[in-house]
Structure 1
C-alpha cells in the first residue's frame, strides 16, 4: 500500500457512466430480481405512505464501509458522517466538527518548512448509534485504519504524519505538506467508531462494520436483505436538527422503467438519475416533483495521445472543431445537459466564467487544420499522412445508452472532415481495464468530482501524480501551474493558476469536454427540505432536515 492510491469517491470516473444515478446502476455486482423489481420489507406495505421514505435505487451497495466501497456512498451518507460536508452550493460546512478549519480562525497553522497542522474541534454531545460518545480517538483510529488498508478511498491519509488528541474533543493533524484541498477526502467521507472497529479484522470484508455499520448520522442501520433492500430508522438521539422521518428504505431496482412505474403506483416515492430519454415520462407524475439540477460532473471524449494520428495535436484540435456539442445535446438529450469546454463545471467554485475553447465547433476550421498539418484526403474520403490513416475506434462500455448514442453522432461529425471512426462497445470490466492501460483510441466516459481546483490527478506528466492520465498527455505548461495549485493556499492565486491550467489544457487537448451533466430526480411532493447535492458526496449527505408532510 502506498500514498498513490486514487479514490473513486474523490473522482468517480467511468469508462461508461450513463446518467449519474445509473452511473452506479450498471456497476458489477448489481442484483436484479427476475421481475426487475425487489420485495419490500415485510412491514413496508405496497405503497409509500405515512412517514416513511422509500427510495428506488438503481444498484445495490457492495459494502456499507464508505472507504472500501467502489461506488458512491448514497445509503451510507444517511448513517455515517464526516467532520465536514459539502453543501448544495459546494461549500464545505461543519458536520461533526464545530467549524471549518482556516488560517484566519487559527485552526490551520502553516510552517516555513512547507508543512501544516490542522485542528478540529468536535461537537459536544454527539453519540454513536449504540449510545457511546464520539471522541477524538474515533477520528484518530479512522485515519490509522484507512491508512493501513487497501481500500478504494485512502486520499489524504498519507499527507498526515501523525495525529494528537490532547482531549476528547480536540484533534490535531500534523500534515507533511501544505494542501488546500484537505477537505476533499479522508475525514469528510466519514468517521468510524473506535470501540467497534478496534476489535474487528477490517481487512475481512465480511466484518460486522462493513455490513451493519454503527454511525452518528440521522438514520440508523436496521437490516440489509441482499438483493432486495436496506432499511434504516430514525436516530432518536441525533445531535442536530431532525431527523423527521420514521424510516428510510432503499429498494434495489436496476431497471429504470420499473422504477418509473413504481413511482406511478406509489410503491416508491423517491428515485434519482433518470436518463434523459425518460425525462418526458417523469415530468408530470401525479404526487411527485421532477427536479433537474447540474452536477459537478462532465462527459468526455478522451484521446490516446500516443496513438499514431492522435499524437498530432492538429488532429486533436480538428476533432474538437468537428464536434457540434450543442447539436449533440439537443438531438440526444432534449437540451438538458450544458455544453462545456472546460473540466471545471459551472457548479464548481473554480469554473472559469466566459471561457470558450479556441477549438469550438467549426468544421471548416477542422479541415484547414488537417490540411495545414499535411493530412490529405484519400480516394475513400479518409485523410492520411506518411502511411497513417485517420481511422479510429470510438469505444465505450456496453449497456451505456448515453454513451452509445453519442458514438454515432461523433462518428458522423468526424466523417464530414475526413476522419473515419468505428463504434465499439466492451463489457464494463474489459473497457475499464482498457482505459486504465491506455489500450484505446478515443474513449467516451465521465467524471464526477468533489469541489476543488486541482486537476493534477487527471493530467500531470508525472505518473505518480497523474494517476488518471491514461492517454499519456504531457504538457509542461499544464504541469507547472497544476503542481503549484496543489499547495497554494491563497484563493486569488489559486483562481489565477486554474486559468493557466485551463489555457494549457485547451491548447493541446488531452480530451474534449462534451458537456456538464444534469441529473433528473423525482421525489414525492410531500418531501420538504431536500436540496440536491452536485458533488460525489451524494444527495443524501445532509438528509437530517428532510420532512414528509
Structure 2
C-alpha cells in the first residue's frame, strides 16, 4: 500500500494540465489540496507571514489553545486542558494535558512551551509582534514565562491588558505554536535557534509532520502516528502549488485534487452547479485595501488620500471581483465584532476626487505605481482600481509579482500605492484589527515594525495609538464599545493611509465526497477531521 501511495504521489506531483492523470479519484487515504504557494517563504512558525503558510502549519503544530472554526468567540483546549486567570488579571495559568508527545517521541512539557515563547521574542521576527504589542519582550521574557512543573505554564502579563486577548493570541498559528525544543536545538547553527533548519523541517506535536517542501511546487504532510488526539482521517496530505485558478477548477472537476483553496470568483461560481463539487464560504480575517506610503510626499497630504477614497468603486469591486473573496466593508473593524460601526457608505465620486486633488495642488493628477500580487483576486482588483484612478487623473502603472516581492516592498516602505490583504482579525476582538491596520507605536525606519500595516505605510498618529491602548484595557464593556466606535470615527476623519474596500471571506471548492472540512476564520483550518466517503 505504501508503494502505491508513493507511486501515485509521484504521478500527481509531476502532472500538468496537458498530461493530467486519467483516473477519476485521488487515493482514498490521501488528501490532495491545490492552492497558491507563492507567498510561502519559510515554515519556521516564528518567521511566517500570510495565510497560506498558516494553512500548512496548522496541521503540523499544536498550540496551548485553539480558536473555534464555527463560534469565533470560543477558545478550545489543545495542549492545555484548562487555564485560569488570577483575580487581579495579571497572570494566566495553563495546565497541560498528560501524554502528549512531539512527532519525535519527546514528551510535550511546560519547558517546551516556555522555550517556544522565549524563542519567538528572542528571534524578533514577524510573529513576535503579536506578543510585543502587549508588552512582552526578549528582555522581560524570563519574568513573563515560567514552568513551575512539567505540566504547568504561568504567563505573567508585563502590562495591563485584557487577559482574554492573550489567551486568544496563543491560539494563533505562529505566536502560539509549541515547538519541540530538544529537536530544534539539535539543529541550532551559530545561535539561530534552529531557524535555518525549520525553514523546511518541522518539530511539532500536531496531527501531521512535514514530509517534504519544495518551494512553489508541493508540500507533503505525513500522518503523525504518535499524535495524542484522535487519529487523522488521511494518511497523507499533498498540497500542490497550482497558481492558476482554472487549473485548480479543472483538476477538481476531474477528481485529480480533492480541495482547491485558491480559485477565482468566476471558477467558484461555475462550480456551484456541479453535483460532484461543493463550495464552502465562511467569514475570514482582515480586509482587502488600498494602501499608500506616507513616505511619499504626495500621499502625506490628507486631501490626496481623501481623493483616493472616492476613486474606489466599492460596490463594483465587490460585485464583480470579490464574490467568494470579500464583502463590502469600509471600516477598520470587521462586522460581527463588538463596537463595529456600520459602513461609512463611501462611493466612487470622480468629480469630488478631482476637486480634492485640485485643492491639494494636483489639478491634472499625477503618475504613480500600484503594486499587487499576481494571484486572484489582487490583480483583478488592482486593474479595476487603476481604471477608476485614471478617471480622476491619476495614472497608475501596475507592478505585479510574488507575495515576497510585493509585500517585501511594503515591509521596506519602498512603494507608492498597493492593493493588499491584511489587517488582523485572526482574533475575535476589535483590537486585533486595529493593532494591525491602525496602530503604529514607533514610526522610525529603524524600528522595523513590519507586522504593523500602520508602520509599513508610515501612518503615525499619537492620539489614535492612545485611543487603541485605552480601549483594550477598559473594563466597563459599554464604555469599551463606545471607545471602539470613537476610534473608527476619528480614523475616518484623519484620512488613513489604508482604506479598506472589503472584509475577507474565505471560499473553498471540494469534492462532494469530502466530509469534515470546516474553514477556520483564523486561517488555521485543520485537515485532521477530513475523510472521504468512497
TM tier relative to shorter chain: 0.7 to 0.9
SS state of the match for residue 502, structure 1? helix
2:35: which partner in 1?
57
SS state of the match for residue 467, structure 2? helix
User: Matched residues in 1 for 2:457 and 2:281: separation?
Assistant: 32
Contact 1:78 1:218 in 2 (8 A): yes
1:533: which partner in 2?
520
Segment drifting more, 419-428 vs 258-267: 419-428
Contact 1:83 1:188 in 2 (8 A): no
Segment drifting more, 207-216 vs 118-127: 207-216
Aligned with residue 340 of structure 2, among 352, 365, 390 = 352
The TM-score, its normalising length taken from structure 1, stands at 0.77
Structure 2 residue 528 is matched with structure 1 residue 544: yes
Cα separation, partners in 2 of 1:425 and 1:238, compared to 1, 3 Å: same
2:455: which partner in 1?
469
2:63: which partner in 1?
82
Contact 2:180 2:204 in 1 (8 A): yes
Structure with bigger RCO (C-alpha 8 Å, 6+ apart): 1
Question: Aligned-pair distance for 1:507?
Answer: 1.0
Name structure 1 gaps, 5 residues minimum: 1-31, 376-382
2:8: which partner in 1?
none
- Within-5 A mapping of 1:74-473: 74-88=55-69, 89-91=71-73, 92-99=75-82, 101=83, 106-110=84-88, 116-155=90-129, 156=131, 158=137, 160=141, 161-180=143-162, 181-183=165-167, 185=169, 188-189=172-173, 190-201=177-188, 203=192, 210-224=199-213, 228-305=217-294, 307-333=296-322, 337-346=326-335, 349-350=337-338, 352-357=340-345, 359-363=346-350, 365-366=352-353, 373=359, 383-384=362-363, 389-397=364-372, 399-400=374-375, 402-416=377-391, 418-428=392-402, 431-447=406-422, 449=424, 450-451=426-427, 452-454=429-431, 455-459=434-438, 460=440, 462-463=442-443, 468-473=454-459
User: Matched residues in 2 for 1:438 and 1:144: separation?
Assistant: 28
Contact 1:275 1:520 in 2 (8 A): no
Cα separation, partners in 2 of 1:485 and 1:69, compared to 1, 3 Å: same
Contact 1:317 1:508 in 2 (8 A): no
The TM-score, its normalising length taken from structure 2, stands at 0.79
User: Matched residues in 2 for 1:342 and 1:210: separation?
Assistant: 36
SS state of the match for residue 371, structure 2? strand
SS state of the match for residue 472, structure 1? coil
Report the aligned-residue RMSD.
3.5
Cα separation, partners in 2 of 1:458 and 1:331, compared to 1, 3 Å: closer
Question: Aligned-pair distance for 1:447?
Answer: 0.8
Cα separation, partners in 2 of 1:252 and 1:36, compared to 1, 3 Å: farther
Question: Aligned-pair distance for 1:495?
Answer: 2.8
Question: Aligned-pair distance for 1:523?
Answer: 1.4
Question: Aligned-pair distance for 1:73?
Answer: 2.4
Cα separation, partners in 2 of 1:350 and 1:188, compared to 1, 3 Å: same
Deviations 1:336-364 (A, max 9, x none): 631111122235x246142425x444455
Contact 1:316 1:508 in 2 (8 A): no
Question: Aligned-pair distance for 1:163?
Answer: 2.4
Question: Aligned-pair distance for 1:423?
Answer: 2.7
1:505: which partner in 2?
491
| Count of residues paired in the alignment | 487
Question: Aligned-pair distance for 1:300?
Answer: 1.0
User: Matched residues in 1 for 2:484 and 2:213: separation?
Assistant: 44
SS state of the match for residue 74, structure 1? helix
